[in-house]
Amino acid sequence: MKYAAQRLVHAVFLLLGVSVLSFLFADLAPGDFFSELRLDPRVSADTVAGLRAQYGLDRPLPVRYAAWLGSVAQGNFGYSLAYRGPVGPLLRQRMRGTLLLTATATCVAWLLAVPLGIWNATQRGTWRDGFFKFVLGLLLSIPDLLLAIVFLVLAVQSGWFPAGGMQSLDLSSLSPVERLRDVVWHMALPVAVLVIGMLPILVRHVRASMVEAMNAPFALSARAHGIPRLRLLFRHLLPAALNPLISLFGFSLGTLLSASLLIEVIMGWPGLGPLFLDAIMARDFALVLGVVMMSTIFLVAGNLAADLLLYRMDPRIRVR
Amino acid sequence: MFNEEGPGEPLLSIRGLCKNFSPGAAALDSVNLQLDRGRTLGLVGPSGSGKSTLARCVTFFEKPTAGEILFEGRALWSLGNRERLRTRACIQLIFQEPAASLNPRFTAAEIIAEPLAIQNRGNRATRLERACRLMETVGLPPGAAAKPAPQFSGGERQRLAIARALALDPKLLILDESFSGLDLTLQAQITALLKDLRKRLGVTYILISHDLALVAGLADEIAVMDHGRIVEHADTAQLLAHPQHPRTRELIDAAMALELP
């Protein structure tokens, strides 16, 4: 419990640090939400200055940061100038789409990667291993972006999958089962892109940890006792290979999220990605910061979960 | 326990054993060796002379390229699966680094009970009870049963590895450089432990080492290996008094040099 509290405090400080840095960098970037107005000859400089003062953009940085922190405490995450409302509800609404995509992709990728990696490790040194390595390398070298575009083209050409969106227009007329099917159908392509992007890395890591565990002297001694293959795998090898994989799990959550933002924009998925892009284009500072903080929270939460899981699984960490 | 084969049959008999890891490079070159029950054989030789490969062939880790290994009169590599499992239990190997051969996630009792579970002997409770008795046998406090392996000291882990090997009532116990990493006091303690076990349980040992002095105190007979061959094999006293092969003399000189002048 003490360990969990300690990690939680770490996480909070990390988030604070990220927010301060984001604030600083955003402040360094030229222009703000009202910069475009200055180009319009009909709007006087006084009006722009008045608007900036009205929304508090002219206040010094520490004051603005403090105001923002206060807003975070209320769950509002600041005020979006483009959407003319608090950022919090916007984030919450879009977060659902991103979470659905990322969580599904993470599950699918890991469910595929673990058995593939184990199988791959047992094939070490055979032609199958070499062939598989080649295929994975090929997959790894295809950028997510290209993959997404190719998938989209195929979807449009074949008409098998919808080319964008999260649900059909006539959703309200469908039964719950059909609605679920509809969402799954819309999700298939973006999830496939994310999984294919992540899979090679995961499989290689699973394979490497498994090979290392197989070569460990204690695995050798278990074999000297005549251990059956499955018992060796589940009782000795997998637990030994698990630690780096749990850490990788936390990390993969974060990576998948940032990949997801990009894929969402290309494939028209109503998640944080398109919102983020719009916010940057409009220089909607609070909204940009909100999405950045959401991603960071997600990443930190993933790593925190991995740390706690490690703590539960490995007696050695508890001893320290 | 009764002996089906009678006292005349050697426990281990190796005939013309060859092992090539790559063509042309022989790790073992037609090795012949016989070991009777209850005897202790010291297997010495410089690094790379094939001692460990020999041990790995006897413990099913390496398949010999040619030749035969007979254990209690039966050829090891032609056994069926079930027989093989039973025979594996009879021949136990303690590794060069016994400490690393303990699963760091297991407690002491689990480590010792695991081979019993693999061999389907007894139930959970009897296995744990046996683990505790074995810890006593090798001189570990039985209260340490629930401690995870990494919390033991080097010498204790060595004892743990021995206890685990003993759990299956092996007839042949092979120690492959198992003392090399220990300080002299611990070496003496483990040597005393092995002598004690030999007296009480009648285990047959093969002690592998590059250090003749270490082995001479325990072994009834000594075989010297060089370049994959056994170049000399005699009773310990005779080998030390009248070494025949130059390699043996070198090893004796090396051992003497370590003694105080």
Going by pLDDT thresholds of 50, 70 and 90, the confidence category of residue A316 is low
Q: Two tokens at A255?
A: 């990576």
How far apart are the CA of A232 and the nearest CA of chain B, in angstroms?
10
Report the pLDDT value the prediction gives residue A169, as an integer from 0 to 100. Answer: 64
Partner-chain contact B100 A217, CB within 8 Å? yes
B82, pLDDT greater than 50: yes
Residue numbers in B near A236 (CB within 8 A):
103
Q: Say if residue B260's pLDDT is above 60.
A: no
In a 10 Å sphere around its CB, with 0-12 CB exposed, 13-18 middle and 19+ buried, how is residue A105 labelled?
buried
Candidates A218, A225, A235; nearest CB to B100: A218
Could you identify the residue written with the tokens 């069926």? B80
**In which band, very low, low, confident or very high, does the pLDDT at B7 lie, cut at 50, 70 and 90?**
low
pLDDT of res. B169: 86
Q: Across the interface, which of A221, A228, A236 has its CB nearest the CB of B95?
A: A221
- Asked if B148 lies within 8 A of A217 by C-beta distance, the reply is no
* pLDDT bucket at B258, cuts 50 / 70 / 90: low
Residue A57 DSSP class: T
Chain A residues with CB inside 8 Å of B61's CB? 220, 223-224
User: What's the pLDDT score for residue A294?
Assistant: 86
pLDDT digits (tens, 9 = 90+) for A118-146: 888 888 878 888 888 888 888 888 888 88
Which residues in B have their CB inside 8 Å of a CB on A? Answer: 59-61, 84-85, 88-89, 92-93, 95, 97, 100-105, 114-115, 118-119, 148, 150-151, 161, 164, 168
pLDDT of the residue at B174: 92
- Please tell me the distance from the alpha carbon of residue B158 to that of residue B108, in angstroms, as a whole number: 12
Q: Tens of pLDDT along A223-240?
A: 878 788 888 888 888 888
What integer is the mean pLDDT of B234-243?
89
The H or E element containing residue A86 is strand A85-86
Q: Which residues contact A22 (CB under 8 A, 6 or more apart)?
A: A289, A292, A293
Cα separation, A117 vs A212, in Å, equals 12
pLDDT at B186: 77
Percent share of chain A, pLDDT over 90: 4
- Per the structure block, which two tokens stand in for B237? 């006293």
Is the pLDDT at A272 greater than 60, yes or no? yes
What is the average pLDDT score of chain B? 85
Q: Chain B contact for A125, CB < 8 A? A: no
Q: pTM of the prediction? A: 0.71
Quote the Cα angle for B40-B44-B47, to 5°.
145
B5 against A16, higher pLDDT: A16
Provide the pLDDT confidence category of residue A111 given band limits of 50, 70 and 90: very high
pLDDT digits (tens, 9 = 90+) for A8-61: 898 889 888 988 898 888 778 777 777 777 777 777 777 777 777 777 777 778
Query: Is the per-residue pLDDT at A3 higher than 90?
Result: no
Tell me the mean pLDDT in the region A195-211: 90
**pLDDT at residue B167 tops 80:** yes
Q: Which residue is it, tokens 């993470």?
A: A106
Report residue B205's pLDDT band, with 50, 70 and 90 as the boundaries. Answer: very high
Predicted confidence at residue B2, as pLDDT, reads 43
What pLDDT score does B12 carry?
92
For residue range A72-89, what is the model confidence (pLDDT) as tens digits? Answer: 888 787 888 778 888 888
- Do A221 and B60 lie within an 8 Å CB cutoff? no
The model's pLDDT over B9-57, given as tens digits with 9 standing for 90+, comes to: 889 999 999 988 877 778 888 899 999 988 999 999 888 888 889 998 9
- Model confidence at B115: pLDDT above 60: yes
Beta-carbon count within 10 A of B110 CB: 20
Whether this model's ipTM surpasses 0.85 comes out as no
Which residues of chain A lie closer than 8 angstroms to B97, CB-CB? 217
Q: Is the pLDDT of residue B150 over 90?
A: no
Look over chain A and give the mean of its residue pLDDT values, rounded to a whole number. Answer: 83
